[in-house]
């Protein structure tokens, strides 16, 4: 989901501050971004889901405190996410004893936006390629299991995977200029 334009985003935030049900629209616009931000730090699906839920719960609860000063809403969400991750790591570092050093904001944003774009492009793949990508990378199923589930040969599934990746590479290249 691409980030809304600043003026639209400001209206959306004001609408959600008046009627919390509108928060779902902010969620839709930013969930991939927050997830990508968190995943690049924690590199674990269950933990990324847990932290993403935590960030949006906090954002919903604190939305009334958000003041529009021109900075993107995503930056506010990233701050909540960074704190949530730090809290968790601090708790853990008492046991394990190390804290990772974070990259610069620009590098983080660039990587996050690249992944958000990639996630959007996956949803535009032909249905059979999309299915293979989700089963392979989200569910981390083996080619054999996917082939069985889809009633296709393993070769056909590998071919779909290759085609999907080639299409994504091409489209990422085009979009990035």
Partner 1 sequence: MAERYDQLDQLIDGLFSRAETPLPETGSEFGPLVRLAADLCALPDPQFKQRLKEDLQRRATPIPAGFRTVTPYLVVPRGDELIDFMKQALGAVETMRSGTPGGFHAEVRIGDSMLMVGSAPSRPPSLAALQHYVENPDEVYRRALQHGATSLQEPTEEHGERFACVRDPFGNRWYLGRSLGPVYRPQGLNDINLFLHPAGAARLIDFLGRAFSAETIERHDSPGGVVYHAKLRIGNSVVEMSESHGWWQTLPTMVFLYVPDADALYQQALAAGAISLSAPADLPYGRSAAVTDPVGHQWYMTTPPSR
> Which residues would be at the binding site for partner 1 (CB under 8 A)?
18-21, 23-24, 27-28, 31-32, 35-36, 39-40, 43, 45, 48-49, 52-53, 56-57, 60, 114-115, 118-119, 122, 133-134, 136-138, 140, 143, 155, 158-159, 161-162, 165-166, 168-169, 172
Q: What DSSP letter does each residue of 95-150 carry, written as one string? A: HH---PPPPPHHHHHHHHHHHHHHHHHHTTS-HHHHHHHIIIIIS---HHHHHHHH
Q: Compute the least distance from the CB of residue 134 to partner 1, in Å.
A: 7
- The tokens describing 171, both together, are 């489209």
Nearer to partner 1, 9 or 56 (CB): 56
Alpha-carbon distance values, 89 to 95, 114, 131, 172 (Å) = 10, 26, 34, 33
CB of 70 to partner 1, least distance (A): 26
Please identify, using beta-carbon distances, which residue of 69 and 127 lies nearer to partner 1. 127
């Amino acid at each position: 989901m691409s980030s809304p334009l600043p003026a639209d985003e400001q209206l959306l935030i004001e609408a959600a501050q008046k009627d919390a049900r509108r928060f779902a629209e902010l969620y839709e616009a930013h969930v991939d971004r927050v997830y990508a931000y968190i995943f690049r730090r924690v590199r674990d699906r269950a933990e990324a889901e847990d932290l993403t839920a935590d960030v949006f719960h906090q954002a919903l609860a604190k939305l009334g405190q958000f003041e529009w000063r021109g900075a993107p809403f995503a930056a506010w969400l990233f701050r909540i996410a960074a704190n949530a991750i730090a809290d968790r790591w601090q708790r853990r570092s008492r046991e394990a004893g190390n804290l990772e050093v974070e990259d610069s904001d620009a590098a983080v944003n660039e990587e996050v936006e690249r992944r958000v774009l990639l996630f959007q492009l996956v949803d535009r793949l032909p249905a059979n390629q999309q299915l293979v990508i989700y089963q392979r990378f989200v569910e981390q199923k083996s080619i054999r299991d996917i082939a069985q589930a889809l009633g296709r040969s393993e070769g056909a599934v590998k071919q779909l995977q290759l085609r999907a990746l080639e299409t994504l590479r091409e489209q990422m290249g085009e979009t990035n200029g």
